């Protein structure tokens, strides 16, 4: 009688298990990361991380709301790796990647052959034609060297960060969703079901009749360009900073005691956070409806504070927040009569 195949039972405290878990984590990260660039519908989510025209450690925090769906690429590890080691190495892997988002660190010598360094990752975030689809590794760069996706820098060409076609906006909700809309629009424009699926599951540059990842000669050549910037008054910067701090405080309060809150309170808190970040982004963009949204947001928050219980928050803090939002709402109501003119930097230069 044939016995069923038994999976190896690896000990969590074995040094060899730790080594295997570290290698497996980085190996599957490489393929998950590569898929998120080479499959259009996945790139529509991952592009959020690449949408910044800057390259600093803050970019490491710029993630898609669907980032958690990447767990499917690590499922093979569940067969042999103890869960405690999986969680540990997943966190170590991501922590390592945080610091490589910097232009400060230059060449690291022999480590460049093995590790994914800031120098390698700068190329990965470039939108130059020679930077596209390169250097996917998390901690180790050996996977790129093995599978043909490694690239080195060019001394005669400066790296341009951001997307090939940037979205000129500071609105996080728009940045999270605009590319998904674009991907499905491209799919809908195709004539057959096969082509519709190809538009979603082949590369972002794919066109009918071209290879899976598209032809390099058909891709957009990105050169030096001005960064999207909007000049706003100092008082507006201070206002937005204050409201962002309140958003962070609200998120911290909710995340630390959400199990004690009613479902309605949790839903309202999430809506408040999303609406606040959207409103802040629209004000930075000088969107014509930003003033109206800010008035509605602030006044609705006053109503919510008056009519819902927040047991985890001090009554004095709630009172201060109520007054704060009331004053903010009245201020923007008055400003919306004569909408604030926030002039883009490039327009300022033309008028000089």
Instruction: Tell me which of 37 and 14 has the higher pLDDT.
Output: 37
pLDDT band at 157 (very low <50, low <70, confident <90, very high): confident
pLDDT at 123 over 70: yes
- Work out the average pLDDT over 207-222: 88
Cα separation of 153 and 142, whole Å? 17
> CB-based contacts of 14: which residues, under 8 Å, 6+ apart?
none
pLDDT at 259 over 80: no
> CB-based contacts of 61: which residues, under 8 Å, 6+ apart?
98
- Work out the average pLDDT over 243-249: 92
- pLDDT for res 339: 56
The domain limits of the chain are 7-225, 234-335
- pLDDT for res 153: 85
Torsion, Cα 162 165 168 173, to 10 degrees, reads -80
- Work out the average pLDDT over 191-219: 91
pLDDT 10s digits, 266-303: 888 888 899 999 999 999 998 888 988 999 999 998 98
- pLDDT for res 338: 63
- The helix or strand, by DSSP H or E, that contains position 300, with its residue range, turns out to be helix 290-307
pLDDT 10s digits, 6-30: 667 788 888 999 999 999 999 999 9
- Based on the number of CB atoms within 10 Å of its own CB, is 238 exposed (0-12), middle (13-18) or buried (19 or more)? exposed
pLDDT at 251 over 90: no
pLDDT band at 127 (very low <50, low <70, confident <90, very high): very high
pLDDT 10s digits, 75-118: 999 989 999 999 999 999 999 999 999 999 989 999 999 999 99
Cα separation of 231 and 149, whole Å? 39
DSSP assignment string, 152-206: ---TTSPPPBS-SS------HHHHHHHHHHHHHHHHHHSSSHHHHHHHHHS-TT-
Instruction: Tell me which of 248 and 261 has the higher pLDDT.
Output: 248
- pLDDT for res 348: 46
Are 138 and 116 within 8 A, CB to CB? yes
pLDDT band at 2 (very low <50, low <70, confident <90, very high): low
Cα separation of 205 and 40, whole Å? 8
- Work out the average pLDDT over 217-245: 90
pLDDT at 265 over 80: no
pLDDT at 122 over 70: yes
> CB-based contacts of 18: which residues, under 8 Å, 6+ apart?
85, 89
Instruction: Tell me which of 4 and 174 has the higher pLDDT.
Output: 174
Cα separation of 84 and 12, whole Å? 7
pLDDT at 345 over 70: no
pLDDT band at 200 (very low <50, low <70, confident <90, very high): very high
- pLDDT for res 3: 52
């Amino acid at each position: 009688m044939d016995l069923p195949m038994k999976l190896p039972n690896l000990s969590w405290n074995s040094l060899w298990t730790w080594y295997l878990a570290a290698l497996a984590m980085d190996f599957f990260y490489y393929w998950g990361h590569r898929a998120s660039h080479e499959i259009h519908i996945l790139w529509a989510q991952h592009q959020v991380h690449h949408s910044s025209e800057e390259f600093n450690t803050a970019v490491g925090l710029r993630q898609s709301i669907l980032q958690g769906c990447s767990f499917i690429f690590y499922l093979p590890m569940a067969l042999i790796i103890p869960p405690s080691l999986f969680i540990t190495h997943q966190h170590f892997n991501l922590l390592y990647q945080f610091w490589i988002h910097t232009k400060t660190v230059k060449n690291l010598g022999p480590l460049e052959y093995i590790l994914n360094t800031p120098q390698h990752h700068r190329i990965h975030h470039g939108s130059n034609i020679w930077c596209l689809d390169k250097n996917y590794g998390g901690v180790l760069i050996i996977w790129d060297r093995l599978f043909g996706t490694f690239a080195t820098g060019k001394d005669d060409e400066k790296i341009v960060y951001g997307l090939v076609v940037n979205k000129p906006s500071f609105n996080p909700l728009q940045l999270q969703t605009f590319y998904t809309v674009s991907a499905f629009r491209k799919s809908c424009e195709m004539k057959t079901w096969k082509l519709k699926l190809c538009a979603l599951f082949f590369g972002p540059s794919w066109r009918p009749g071209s290879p899976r990842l598209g032809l390099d000669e058909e891709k957009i050549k990105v050169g030096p360009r001005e960064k999207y910037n909007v000049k706003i008054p100092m008082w507006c910067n201070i206002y937005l900073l204050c409201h962002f701090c309140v958003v962070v405080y609200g998120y911290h309060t909710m995340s630390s005691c959400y199990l004690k809150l009613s479902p309605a309170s949790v839903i309202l808190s999430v809506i408040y956070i999303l609406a606040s970040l959207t409103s802040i982004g629209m004000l930075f963009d000088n969107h014509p409806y930003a003033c109206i949204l800010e008035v509605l947001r602030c006044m609705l928050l006053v109503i919510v504070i008056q009519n819902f219980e927040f047991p985890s928050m001090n009554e004095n803090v709630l009172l201060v927040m109520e007054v704060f939002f009331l004053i903010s709402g009245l201020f923007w109501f008055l400003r919306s009569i004569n909408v604030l003119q926030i002039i883009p930097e490039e327009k300022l230069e033309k008028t000089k």
